[in-house]
Amino acid sequence: MSLYRIRTVSELTGVSSATLRAWERRYGIPSPSRTPSAYRLYSDDDVAVIMKMRDLVKGGMAPAEAGKHLLTEPKDGVSHPGANGTPLDTDPFSAACERIVEATKRFDPDALEDEVSKTLTLGPAVSIFERTIGPALARIGDMWHAGIITVAQEHLASNVLGGTLIHLLRLAQPADATRRIALACFADEDHVLGLYGVGLRFTSWGYRTLMLGARTPPPAIARVVDSLAPDVVGLSVSIPPPPPRARELVDAYADACRTTAWVVGGEGAEGMRAWIEDRGGICVGKDLAASRQTIERLVASKRRRPMRKD
């Protein structure tokens, strides 16, 4: 679970730090943990509660009443109107995805920017990617391949959504991270947006993410391993290279990672599974979450190195 400092929570939720402190003091909403130095650390659950409180207050409920309601809210949830009158038991993530796709189809840059900005208030960063931005990117890509939208529309959406993912990853970096992952695309791979989703998933597991981006050759990975000593290296490939080139790259990345745990994911990873596993890596394909225990075991089995100070 990720832990966030109050400034980050304020940026994620749009609620000022002063208001967050006041809600905690007056209504017990939320109840963050503390570091030994007494700094507040908010969990994903705390962020979700703050967003509910914010929406109830925006909808006209007095803060005291909203706090009392949230403290007594049943675990299975109760439908209450949100700030825009939409019941809170509807799926706001799916609705936001639909609005982003529709704005892209209309080729409406202002509406697209507005809808994407609104996603930042929906919940934890990893949920925003996996339930809204990721599905929107997939649908927009499918529409482009089908000829429903033009390359200009697809590029506009990719740039707007990509900028949002960069912002989310920066905000989601856990305050108390003791481990970190270096993320990069294969040397011939340009599709980088999905890698930000991987980064957000790892931040939710308590890793700090170092994003290297597209077309990262094996020598660059070797430099990162030697200089920054990440606990794990994550590589992404959506379009598999031809077999000779694929085998060459797998061997080169395995050598570059040395004793560091390394994983490969994306649409193109499955075809290289045998080579990856033969060199001691993990092929996660498209289902990263299902591979968490395997990744953690591999990371734990490797020689641990001290985390460098930035």
**Residue 303: its pLDDT value, please?**
52
**Residue 89: its pLDDT value, please?**
46
**Residue 160: its pLDDT value, please?**
96
CA geometry: angle 76, 82, 87, nearest 5 deg: 55
Strands annotated E in the chain:
3-4, 33-34, 40-43, 179-185, 207-213, 232-236, 261-265, 282-285
CB 273 within 8 A of CB 283: yes
Question: What digits encode the pLDDT tens for the residues 160-195?
Answer: 999 999 999 998 888 788 899 999 999 999 989 999
| Residues of the chain below pLDDT 70 | 1-2, 73-90, 303-310
Q: Which residue bears the tokens 């694929």?
A: 246
Question: What digits encode the pLDDT tens for the residues 97-111?
Answer: 999 999 999 999 999
**Residue 76: its pLDDT value, please?**
44
- Residue 278 identity (one-letter amino acid): D
Handedness of CA 160, 183, 214, 146 (dihedral sign): negative
3-state secondary structure 65-89: HHHHHHHCCCCCCCCCECCCCCECC
Q: Nearest to residue 160, comparing CAs of 216, 104, 106?
A: 104
Q: Nearest to residue 183, comparing CAs of 169, 164, 171, 163?
A: 169
**Residue 2: its pLDDT value, please?**
66
> Could you give the 3-state DSSP secondary structure of residue 211?
strand
**Residue 74: its pLDDT value, please?**
55
CA–CA separation, 49 vs 77, rounded Å? 12
**Residue 1: its pLDDT value, please?**
56
**Residue 78: its pLDDT value, please?**
40
**Residue 46: its pLDDT value, please?**
87
What stretch of H or E contains 164? helix 151-172
